[in-house]
């Protein structure tokens, strides 16, 4: 019995030893935040002078430089709710797919805590934002603490702790340094843009560090209760889950015959651009009296005579399905799911190159052809690009076709046909909406089809995105398990 007690004491002793320094840091961060909170609430004179002095000085230095402001806004967006929410959501879904429910719960709880603490403390302190001479940053709500600084500290820190085991030991210090740099730069931009005081950012960092420490400490207690040894946080929260939290194994040949493949893609891109330019120039300037000219005249005029307020609204929202934000959002959701389920980078590369090629071919051919919009009222107003080919239609076609190509051969479930249907319904709906709104001719739609068929065909031939299926790669979720996936997701949050 004494031997058993000694065995049980060892993990507890190791845990206590390893936790003393961490607990001291957590308590220090909490005490520091409390002191700063009191000073801000009491409007302590020296802190007030420092905060307002730095805000005014930085505004004078930054506001005259437009490119610098653009860079600062781009960096500060990394701490915004949209980016943070996407990162945490993708992380949670990926962990649930990999059956790492405890880590998923940790991310959810840690992120939810930050979402609760930020507005609560802002309402409690009720501090006004800086008043600078030249406003250059957008904001809403109270000032203390900085939501961007708090959110980035908690979210990036939690993600680092969860996925650190997937990294090789020699890369972990670099990952920690990169994460710390991102968090620091986000906080710096909030002050530089004149939307927060220095004390707002410092308070957010202290609060974020304290909350992150508390949740990490609770997770380590959870491990101890399950009989797992305490490990330094430098190894991550769950070292045993290294294989499951790794996005995908290294692939020796991401592109088959890399040099030849790259050359084929470049040459193919140029040839496709030439084909688009030739067809676009013909239907735009040399097709008078042909079927194409009749079609490009009759269809826009027919839509123009059948417009109603209800159809205008419907076409507006359906048209949005093909805009940049929607396409990017769908891509950023689909690609991480592919990694989580099939553990391969090549399908992700296929989707990424599909969208990059579509965008570059669209911009280049639109600039070269320079086709005017249909001679009817353009409901979306003046556009920065020309009519041929349609960027909305081409982007929708490329994205949903690429998704169908990836999903269809990887499962035998009935729902694979849903993606085939979406590859038809989504672009057709966008095409009808764009033509209804007077933004494109029917031959612009044809140009989008030509772009999609040629570029995706070339990429499929060069990349072979589904080669791993032929080699026997199985998904993290087997096809017979799909019917019980919802139950597994529910149970994952209740793992002891």
Active site residues: 148, 196
Q: What is the DSSP string of 122-191?
A: HHHH-PPPP--SS------S--SS-HHHHHHHHHHHHHHHHHGGGS-HHHHHHHHHHHHHHHHHHHHHHH
CA of residue 100 relative to chain centroid, distance:
21
Query: Of the candidates 472, 317, 356, which has an alpha carbon nearest to the alpha carbon of residue 409?
Result: 472
Q: At what angle do helices 391-407 and 324-342 cross, to 10 degrees?
A: 10
Tokens 């101890």 belong to 224
| Cis preceding linkage at 199, omega within 30 | no
CA of residue 116 relative to chain centroid, distance:
22
The two structure tokens encoding residue 239? 């070292």
Angle at 157 between CA 154 and CA 162, to 5 degrees: 120
Q: How far is CA 408 from CA 165, 401, 416, 462, 478, in A?
A: 32, 10, 5, 19, 14
Cα separation, 83 vs 96, whole angstroms: 20
Cα separation, 196 vs 262, whole angstroms: 47
Q: At what angle do helices 391-407 and 442-463 cross, to 10 degrees?
A: 40
């Amino acid at each position: 019995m004494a031997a058993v007690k000694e065995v049980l004491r060892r993990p507890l002793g190791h845990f206590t030893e390893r936790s003393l320094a961490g607990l001291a840091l957590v308590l220090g961060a909490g005490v520091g935040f409390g002191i700063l909170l009191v000073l801000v609430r009491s409007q302590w004179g020296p802190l007030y002078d420092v905060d307002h002095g730095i805000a005014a000085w930085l505004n004078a230095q930054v506001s005259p430089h437009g490119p610098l402001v653009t860079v600062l806004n781009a960096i500060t967006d990394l701490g915004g709710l949209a980016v943070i929410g996407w990162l945490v959501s993708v992380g949670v879904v990926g962990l649930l797919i990999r059956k790492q429910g405890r880590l998923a719960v940790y991310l959810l709880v840690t992120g939810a805590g930050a979402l609760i603490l930020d507005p609560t403390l802002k309402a409690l302190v009720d501090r006004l934002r800086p008043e600078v001479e030249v406003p250059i940053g957008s904001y809403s709500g109270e000032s203390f603490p900085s939501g961007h600084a708090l959110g980035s500290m908690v979210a990036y820190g939690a993600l680092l702790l969860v996925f650190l085991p997937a990294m090789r030991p020699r890369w972990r210090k670099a990952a920690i340094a990169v994460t710390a740099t991102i968090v620091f730069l986000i906080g710096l931009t909030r002050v530089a843009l004149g939307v927060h005081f220095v004390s707002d950012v410092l308070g957010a960092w202290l609060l974020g560090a304290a909350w992150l420490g508390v949740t990490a400490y609770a997770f380590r207690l959870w491990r101890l209760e399950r009989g797992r040894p305490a490990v330094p946080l430098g190894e991550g929260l769950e070292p045993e889950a290294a294989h499951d939290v790794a996005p995908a194994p290294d692939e020796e040949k991401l592109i088959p015959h890399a040099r030849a493949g790259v050359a084929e893609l470049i040459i193919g891109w140029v040839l496709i651009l030439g084909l688009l330019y030739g067809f676009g120039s013909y239907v735009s300037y040399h097709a008078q009296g042909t079927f194409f000219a009749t079609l490009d005249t009759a269809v826009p005029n027919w839509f123009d005579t059948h417009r109603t307020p209800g159809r205008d609204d419907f076409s507006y929202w359906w048209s949005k399905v093909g805009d940049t934000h929607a396409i990017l959002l769908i891509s950023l959701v689909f690609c991480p799911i592919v990694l989580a389920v099939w553990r391969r980078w090549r399908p992700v590369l296929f989707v990424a190159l599909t969208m990059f090629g579509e965008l570059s071919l669209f911009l280049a051919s639109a600039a070269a052809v320079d086709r005017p919009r249909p001679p009817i009222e353009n409901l979306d107003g003046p556009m920065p690009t020309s009519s041929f080919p349609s960027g909305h239609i081409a982007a929708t076609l490329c994205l949903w076709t690429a998704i169908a190509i990836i999903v269809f051969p990887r499962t035998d479930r009935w729902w694979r046909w849903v993606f085939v249907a979406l590859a038809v319904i989504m672009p057709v709906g966008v095409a009808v909406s764009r033509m209804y709104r007077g933004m494109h001719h029917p031959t612009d739609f044809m140009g989008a089809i030509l772009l999609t068929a040629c570029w995706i065909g070339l990429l499929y031939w060069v990349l072979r995105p589904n080669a791993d299926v032929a080699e026997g790669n199985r998904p993290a979720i087997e096809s017979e398990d799909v019917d019980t996936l919802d139950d597994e997701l529910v149970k994952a949050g209740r793992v002891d």
